Amino acid sequence: MKRLSTPIRDLVLLEPRVFEDERGFFFESYNKKVLADLGIREEFVQDNHSRSRRGVLRGLHYQIRQAQGKLVRVVAGEIFDVAVDLRRSSSTFLQWYGVKLSAENKLQLYIPVGFAHGFLTLSDWAEVLYKTTDFYAPRHERCIRWDDPKLRIRWPLEEGMQLTVSPKDAAGVPVEQADLFA
C-alpha cells in the first residue's frame, strides 16, 4: 500500500497494491501493520456499509465526543468523498479536501479524529465501506450543512443530477454555530 499526500495534515489517501490478471484482481484492503508503518496507528472498532443512489449527499457528519477516525473505501460505484478539518489548532482549520473514490480506482481515504465527513454519490449506485476508531454515539453526533458558504465545498453536481439530502442532514448547522475540536 502506498501513502499519497493530501494538502491537509493527517488526512491520508491510500493506494493499495492491486494484483490483477484475466481472473480478476486481489488486494489487501486492510493490514494493521502496513497502516502503522504508514503512520496510521489507530485501532478500528466498527465497520459500516452504506448503499446510496446517484445524487445522494450524506454529511457533513462527526461526533464531538467518542470522536471517530474513519477509513473509507468504495466497493461498488463512485463517490466524491469530502473531509473538513474542524481542529481549531490546525493550520488547515476549516479547509476541505475532496477526492473521487471508486470501486475502479480502489483508493481509500483515512480521515482522522477532528474532521467532518460527507460524500456525494456520482454513479447510479455506490456502496461505501468504512472502518471507525470509536463506536457510533448518536447523542454526540453533529452535522454541518453540506452547502455552508463559509466552507465553499465544490461538490461535483452534474447537470440533471437530482440531489437528495436527508432531513437530518438538511437541518445541519452552519460551521460558525457548530461544536468544534480544540
Whether 4 maps to a domain, the answer reads no
- Is residue 130 part of the annotated active site? The answer reads yes
List strand residue ranges (DSSP E) for 5-136, in order.
12-15, 18-21, 24-27, 46-53, 57-63, 70-76, 78-85, 96-102, 108-111, 115-121, 125-132
Whether 80 maps to a domain, the answer reads yes
pLDDT digits (tens, 9 = 90+) for 128-174: 999 999 999 999 999 999 999 999 999 999 888 999 999 999 999 99
pTM: 0.95
Distance (Å, whole) CA 52 – CA 50 = 7
pLDDT digits (tens, 9 = 90+) for 35-74: 999 999 999 999 999 999 999 999 999 999 999 999 999 9
- Is residue 49 part of the annotated active site? The answer reads no
Whether 127 maps to a domain, the answer reads yes
Structural domain span for residue 157? 44-177
Q: Given the residues 62, 97, 110, 130, select the one marked as catalytic.
A: 130
CATH number, domain with residue 145:
2.60.120.10
- Please give the tally of structural domains in the chain: 1
Whether 59 maps to a domain, the answer reads yes
